[in-house]
Amino acid sequence: MGRFLPWIAGFTVMMSGAVYGDESRVVWGDVTAPRGVVLLVHGLNNSPGVMEPLAAFVRSQGFASGIVPLSGHEAASPRPVDSPAVWLSDLAGAVREAERRYPGLPRFNISFSLGAAVTGAWLREVGHPPFERMVLLAPAFAPKGYTGLLRFFTWLRAFGVSLPSFVPREYRSSRFTPLAMYGALFDLIDVLSTQPPVDMMRAIPTLVVVPSGDEFISLNRLRRFIGDNRLTTWRFEIIPPAETGLPHHLMLDEPSCGAAGWRRLTEMIGSFLTAAG
């Protein structure tokens, strides 16, 4: 339990030259004659910029990128989060903005940890597949059992309590994570475990990647989720954990994945996205 909190907390990588959308604050990265647009969603207690290495990679493959900032994760004066509905609204706004900026182009999604749970739960609110394909990295909707211990403390969110983060300074967005945000994450997990949008999930080919040493995600529970819901369009991949000294749950850039792991991860993502044509 002592090492659990950093893994769910997330990580931060600062970026420059961002162009913010007027509705959802999406950070866009354009390319010439894009073959599609990829929306990227970060994890809990991440700075949105943590997704920039993956955004840069998809741009190198000919896709425009849009990093979706989730409320409560702003660098200055973060907006409070008291329910997952706030995050679902953030993603919905990003999709609308992508439709305006790139009309007629196929849309894709790459989400990490909390971001994957937000994406999965948001599919309950749409009437047609919003993405051509999805990539879910260490999705937070299949956590290990001991994470339930944290639920005993979420009632303290009513008092504005936050928990400290122990991840290295260069990877964290904040020294503390509000229990309100942990509570919102658990609400998403509950929805996905009891009322998953199965039809919509089946309609979207999805690549799920988890490191074998992930400290937060249960590989067995994730397999059961895919099998029990008959998600035959989903592909499940496990990659060896990198010996980087960082939590294995983090798989967002070369320093966290290691050179070989990052090469393998980006090759899988690149071939999966481009297979859509």
pLDDT, one tens digit per residue, over 17-47 is 333 334 558 999 999 999 999 999 999 888 8
Give the gyration radius of the chain's Cα atoms.
17
Beta carbons of 64 and 107 less than 8 angstroms apart:
no
User: With 60 as the cut, is the pLDDT of residue 2 above it?
Assistant: no
Contacts 24+ apart (CB under 8 A), 146-150: 146/1, 146/4, 147/4, 147/8, 147/216, 149/1, 150/4, 150/182, 150/186
The most distant pair of C-alpha atoms in the chain lies apart, rounded to whole Å, by: 51
Region 149-172 average pLDDT:
64
pLDDT, one tens digit per residue, over 248-259 is 888 889 998 999
Beta carbons of 121 and 84 less than 8 angstroms apart:
yes
Beta carbons of 209 and 162 less than 8 angstroms apart:
no
For the domain made up of 4-274, give the CATH fold. Rossmann fold (3.40.50)
Q: Which of 80-94, 150-164, 182-196 has the lowest mean pLDDT?
A: 150-164
Q: Which residue has the higher pLDDT, 182 or 152?
A: 182
Give the end-to-end CA distance of the chain in Å, rounded to a whole number. Answer: 44
pTM: 0.87
The pLDDT value given to residue 83: 86
pLDDT, one tens digit per residue, over 115-127 is 999 999 999 999 9
Beta carbons of 94 and 37 less than 8 angstroms apart:
no
The pLDDT value given to residue 213: 85
